[in-house]
Amino acid sequence: MAPSTARTPAPSPDRLGSPGSGVLVTGGGSGIGRATALALAEVGRPVAVWDIDAEGAEETATICRRDHGVVAEWAVVDVADTAAIEKAVPEAADALGSLGGFVHAAGRSGPMPVDFVDDELWDATLNVNLRGAVMISRMLLEPFRQAGPGSAAVLISSVEGLFGSAFLTAYCASKGGVLGVMRSIAQRFASEGFRVNAVCPGAVDTPMLQPAFELPGFRAQLEERTPLQRVSTPDEVARPIRFLLSDEASFITGTHLTVDGGMTSVTAI
Ligand SMILES: NC(=O)c1ccc[n+]([C@@H]2O[C@H](COP(=O)([O-])OP(=O)(O)OC[C@H]3O[C@@H](n4cnc5c(N)ncnc54)[C@H](O)[C@@H]3O)[C@@H](O)[C@H]2O)c1
């Protein structure tokens, strides 16, 4: 199918170039996923919030509806469960009226050095962070075609996808893998005019990092290693994701945007 250049209705200026189609946000019950759903709702995009945490997902959808008046649905969907994904993607498209955006924010960290990694930890980490992104993406071409031009996806990787941490073997594998599959999916989707990118956050103040923040000196060490001398808020990652999903990023595909306060720009010298 040839990419079309037509779009109705035209995006209004106060929507920051955002199409009107709905967006599926996995991991939308907390942290970066929640902030992303809210940022998208702010520019009028309907959202489908998926999470294994029902309470968190429902709360996000409720805030989106209450504060921004958009259609906002939520569902308990385990992104490691391919059968559940196959059932839930068409349901999300129906509920939102169109599905022209996808953000894979569902994630788990699984801190463990290589000498302690076992099959269970490896599979659990890879299945959520990496396989889930692929199994959802493979369901999206048809809804994206129906939603029309401007359809796009953003997968959340990490600075750990670019560099290595001794304590995050499976996590690093999953996040490096996200960058690999992002480039591959981007090629396939580009043939139909759709874009796929990734973001690589540094340290973000979300529940995922809370156990680490409780270690003495950990937060101070992170801040010291970050040129902007602080960790980011979830919203500071959500807004770049919203940009990548918008027509403002119409010629950006197959790449990643590092959102790390400069952390990866520093040499060891
Ligand atoms: N917080 C950071 O410093 C940081 C840095 C770089 C990348 N990231 C990535 O950003 C993404 C969002 O993480 P966050 O920091 O907002 O963490 P978070 O823990 O606040 O949110 C993650 C969400 O994913 C959900 N989730 C976990 N397993 C799931 C599954 N199987 N199916 C569906 N949902 C599931 C959780 O319930 C949770 O609501 C993750 O991919 C994470 O790896 C986070």
pLDDT tens, position by position, for the chain (269 residues)? 444 444 444 556 689 999 999 999 999 999 999 999 999 999 999 999 999 999 999 999 999 999 999 999 999 999 999 999 999 999 999 999 999 999 999 999 978 999 999 999 999 999 999 999 999 999 999 999 999 999 999 999 999 999 999 999 999 999 999 999 999 999 999 999 999 999 999 999 999 999 999 999 999 999 999 999 999 999 999 999 999 999 999 999 999 999 999 999 998 88
Q: Between the CA atoms of 245, 95, 15 and 152, what dihedral angle is there, to the nearest 10 degrees?
A: 10
Alpha carbon separation from 15 to 34, 39, 49, 137, 219 (Å, rounded): 19, 11, 20, 25, 35
**Closest-lying ligand 1 atom to the alpha carbon of residue 128:** 31
Ligand 1 centroid–CA 149 distance in Å is: 29
Helix (H/G/I), strand (E/B), else coil: 16 = coil
Protein residue whose Cα sits closest to atom 41 of ligand 1: 107
The CA angle 127-187-95, to the nearest 5 degrees, is 60
Q: For the full predicted model, state whether its pTM sits above 0.75.
A: yes
Q: Which helix (H) or strand (E) holds 119?
A: helix 119-126
Pick the CATH number of 17-204+233-257 from 3.40.50.720, 3.40.50.10860, 3.90.1150.10, 3.65.10.10: 3.40.50.720
Ligand 1 centroid–CA 224 distance in Å is: 24
Q: Which of 237, 174, 233 is nearest to 206 (CA)?
A: 233
Residues with CB under 6 A from ligand 1: 26-27, 29-33, 50-53, 56, 78-80, 105-108, 128-129, 156, 158, 201, 203-204, 206-209
Give dist(CA 187, CA 192) in Å, integer. 9
